[in-house]
Chains A and B, each alone.
Chain A
Amino acid sequence: MKVFFMAITFVFLATSTMASDKEKAQLASEMRSMLSAVELIQKGGFYSKPEMMKEGVKKLKSKLMILESSDASKYLPDDKKKAAKFANKRASMIEMYANDLIDSINHNNMDDALEDYTQIIRQCTSCHLRMRSY
């Protein structure tokens, strides 16, 4: 019986570690996609191509879900586990600025659109600053 419970515990721990590793890997992959989306917005801004910027926003928004829904406490180091709400907040701010960026482009207000882009980057760096203890 003892061996049985030990085996169950081992299997549980092993699967939960695998699950968190899988989630961590998925997050890294989504982060890379977000980076390329942000680069696309920037490129669109530099080349004055609003459609490219919109495409970047669309890609970025589709990847935000991972930040809003994943349980960051599963893979964050101990001293950062509680910062999950902070990460969620940054994600919601990115979404807000992304929506405003589209709105600004639609109103032909490139100044505001670029300000929104700056704020999106600010949200990203703000979170990385906290998570990586710079």
Chain B
Amino acid sequence: MDRRGFLKIVGGASVIAVAPSIIEGTLHADDGTLYRAYKKVQLLDANGNPILASKLTKEKNYVFNYPHAGTSCLLISLPKATDRKVSLKSEDGEEYVWNGGVGKENNIVAYSAICPHQLTHINKKDTFISYTESGKKTMACTKEMPCSKTGSVIVCGSHLSAYDPYKGCKVLGGPAPQPLASIVLEHHDDDTLWAVGVLGPDKFHEFFKIFKPELKEQYGGKRKAKKKVKKSAQVVALSEFTKDIIRY
């Protein structure tokens, strides 16, 4: 290897080590971690002001679209810190590690709101998928499951799959074959929040294929819905984003 080639490799490796969010693409690390980096975008409110982690209402369902203009994600400020370094497994048996929530309390999480079972998702007309607050009951948590008493789960009401938001959306019950994909967030010193990538197997490809007519109706076409989000993503309350929140 000549000196120029060597410097290129060292330089590239340094960039990734210092600022992982500037790279884009899929990385398969040696430890099996599956992570796909997208544009780093700042989370903003409806007026274009930065969302501040400490100002988020605890347990409120927030929505933002990322990494595509037509793929909705749930943003939740949980009442307590999440678990750290949680090992998760995809439907294919691929293992990956979810690092935990962000923010000063390590309680802020974001997940792609596309259920891997039958692709139930949030849309502008209605949603069957949402976070159920602590203490609230859901049909997805049967008596034998601890969440029947605690609540604090993400539920897909279509076929009653329950996910644990404290553990990277590990499946607690129901037919879901794998966790919801996690949106990797960065929390900066000024309390702002940024989305930088997607961890775990996502269902974007199938989603765009299957919901073509719906995307045409709601986003003006598949191509527009598939457009990558750049610079910023607007965060709104789920109740403002969709007309009907259906919970079981």
Contacts and interface: CB of A to CB of B under 8 A. Distances in A.
B158 interface: yes
A106 to B, nearest CB: 14
Contact of B128 (A79, A89, A96, A115): A89
Nearest to B159: A130
B213 A97 contact: yes
A20 interface: no
A99 B216 CA distance: 12
B210 interface: yes
The interface residues of chain B, by DSSP majority, are classed as loop
B210 A126 contact: no
Contacts of B15: none
Given A83-B248, A96-B214, A129 B159 contact: yes
B210 A119 contact: yes
Nearest to A85: B246
B118 interface: yes
A126 to B, nearest CB: 6
Nearest to A127: B158
B214 A86 contact: no
Interface in B93-139: 118, 126, 128, 139
For chain B, the bracket of interface size reads: 10 to 19
A107 to B, nearest CB: 13
Interface residues of A, number: 18
B4 interface: no
A27 to B, nearest CB: 21
A82 B139 contact: yes
B157 A86 contact: yes
B118 A126 contact: yes
A126 B212 contact: no
A22 interface: no
A126 B158 contact: yes
A85 B126 CA distance: 10
Interface in A94-129: 96-97, 99-100, 112, 115-116, 119, 122, 126, 129
Contacts of A89: 126, 128, 246
23 contacts: A79-B139, A82-B139, A82-B248, A83-B248, A85-B246, A86-B157, A86-B158, A89-B126, A89-B128, A89-B246, A99-B213, A100-B212, A115-B209, A115-B210, A115-B212, A116-B213, A119-B210, A122-B118, A122-B210, A126-B118, A126-B158, A130-B158, A130-B160
